[in-house]
Amino acid sequence: MIQAISPIKILLLNNPKLGYQYYYDEQAQAAVLYHPTKKEFITFDDQRSIKAKTDYVKQNRLGGIFTWEITADKDNQLIELISTELNR
């Protein structure tokens, strides 16, 4: 089951008629939506990519993590996941 954090992902995946497919790029550790006909490529963060990023921060003893466009995180799921993973 794909768990959504991004509103983009929720909107595009919940409507299969739109034609977007979910992929996870193992090398980049990034969630991707792709539309094969339109050749549209959208990256975003989901639970898997956030876990990969927080693991990287902890393994490399970095001082924190940066987020872009946090206003899309309406239910604070992204922030809560980052906090949980960094403090685990």
Read off the pLDDT band of 56 (50, 70, 90).
very high
For residue range 1-50, what is the model confidence (pLDDT) as tens digits? 445 556 676 777 778 889 999 999 999 999 999 999 999 988 888 889 99
Report how many domains make up the chain: 1
**Residue 21, in any domain of the structure:** yes
**How far, in Å, CA of 30 to CA of 38, rounded?**
20
Who contacts 54 (Cβ-Cβ below 8 Å, separation ≥6)? 65, 82, 85, 86
**Three-state DSSP class for residue 24:** strand
Average pLDDT over residues 63-67: 88
pTM, rounded to two decimals: 0.78
CA 10 to chain CA centroid, Å, is 11
**Residue 1, in any domain of the structure:** no
**Residue 67, in any domain of the structure:** yes
Domain that holds residue 30: 7-82
Q: Which two tokens stand for residue 85?
A: 């993973």
Residues 23, 26, 28, 32, Cα dihedral to 10°:
10
**How far, in Å, CA of 50 to CA of 38, rounded?**
27
